[in-house]
């Protein structure tokens, strides 16, 4: 038995709008859909901004077909956790680079959505699994964290129409190998599972049969719970601004 601790702190609650900025359809679902479901159930607003449509994500499906399937699955997965706003930037799946153009696009989105919390998937070299992270995740995550600062400075990207937004208090990094905080998902686990299962074609492409997403997710949230007073939880690395 692992000894129970409480070294992960509860996520701050002093925010009302969040924007999740991730590289691919399924990044939010595998990273933190249970937390999103808990937040929307508590009345908070969450939007998704995806840099790509995940067209390179299904080995047996050509990108021009996958682009439609994966957008549809992403919108369905978002709706199941109370998220109605899903936007795509149409960067190329698999070759997201850290560029000034990307920071400008993300700063524009942050100025437009005006979130107090930005959610990303990990920008670190190693993910929570202990395995090497993908360049799309690293570059998307780091650009999102930097774009929070850009969004607040009117002299950076002055060509953008939107007024600066200085209201982001936190970023919550999902999938981090250095988590500091957690969200109790004991009431939102079913929604999280449904949100993952909405990516049916993607899961099939990975050889994961219908209904098989629950067991690994339960194991993950229960393992996180061992560091959160025994409550099943989704971990985040919290970054303050
Ligand atoms: Zn991804």
CA of 5 to the centre of ligand 1 (A): 30
Distance in Å, CA 73 to ligand 1 centroid: 14
45 CA from centroid of ligand 1 (Å)? 23
- Between the CA of 24 and the centroid of ligand 1 the distance, in Å, is 5
Distance CA 70, CA 90 (A): 13
176-197 pLDDT, tens digit per residue, is 999 999 999 999 999 999 999 9
Q: Name the band, by pLDDT with cuts 50, 70 and 90, for residue 235.
A: very high
Query: pTM of the predicted model, to two decimals?
Result: 0.96
pLDDT digits (tens, 9 = 90+) for 80-90: 999 999 999 99
The domain defined by 9-240 folds into Rossmann fold (3.40.50)
pLDDT value of residue 31:
86
Does residue 4 carry a pLDDT above 80? Answer: no
Give 22 Cα–ligand 1 centroid separation in angstroms: 7
So what's the pLDDT on residue 157? 97
How much distance in Å is there from the Cα of 161 to the middle of ligand 1? 30
Band of pLDDT at residue 205, cut at 50, 70 and 90: very high
pLDDT, mean of residues 202-217? 93
CA of 21 to the centre of ligand 1 (A): 11
Long-range contacts of 67-76 (CB under 8 A, 24+ apart): 69/201, 70/25, 70/199, 70/201, 70/202, 71/25, 73/25, 73/198, 73/199, 73/200, 73/201, 73/202, 74/25, 74/26, 74/48, 74/50, 74/199, 76/198
């Amino acid at each position: 038995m692992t000894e129970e601790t409480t070294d992960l702190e509860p996520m701050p609650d002093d925010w009302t709008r969040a924007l999740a900025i991730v590289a691919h359809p399924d990044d939010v679902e595998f990273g933190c859909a249970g937390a999103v479901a808990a937040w929307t159930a508590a009345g908070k607003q969450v939007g998704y901004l995806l840099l790509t449509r995940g067209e390179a994500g299904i080995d047996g499906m050509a990108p021009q077909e996958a682009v439609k399937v994966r957008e549809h699955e992403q919108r369905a997965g978002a709706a199941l956790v109370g998220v109605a706003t899903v936007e795509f930037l149409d960067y190329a799946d698999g070759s997201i680079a850290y560029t000034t153009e990307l920071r400008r696009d993300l700063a524009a989105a942050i100025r437009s959505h005006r979130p107090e919390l930005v959610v990303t998937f990990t920008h670190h070299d190693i993910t929570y699994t202990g395995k090497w992270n993908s360049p799309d995740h690293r570059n998307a995550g780091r650009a999102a964290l930097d774009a929070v600062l850009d969004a607040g400075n009117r002299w950076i990207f002055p060509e953008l129409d939107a007024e600066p937004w200085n209201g982001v208090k936190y970023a919550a990094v999902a999938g981090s190998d250095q988590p500091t905080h957690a969200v109790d998902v004991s009431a939102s686990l079913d929604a999280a599972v449904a949100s993952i299962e909405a990516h049916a074609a993607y899961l099939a492409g990975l050889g994961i049969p219908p209904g098989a997403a629950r067991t690994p997710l339960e194991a993950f949230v229960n393992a996180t719970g061992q560091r959160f007073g025994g409550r099943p939880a989704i971990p985040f690395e919290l970054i303050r601004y």
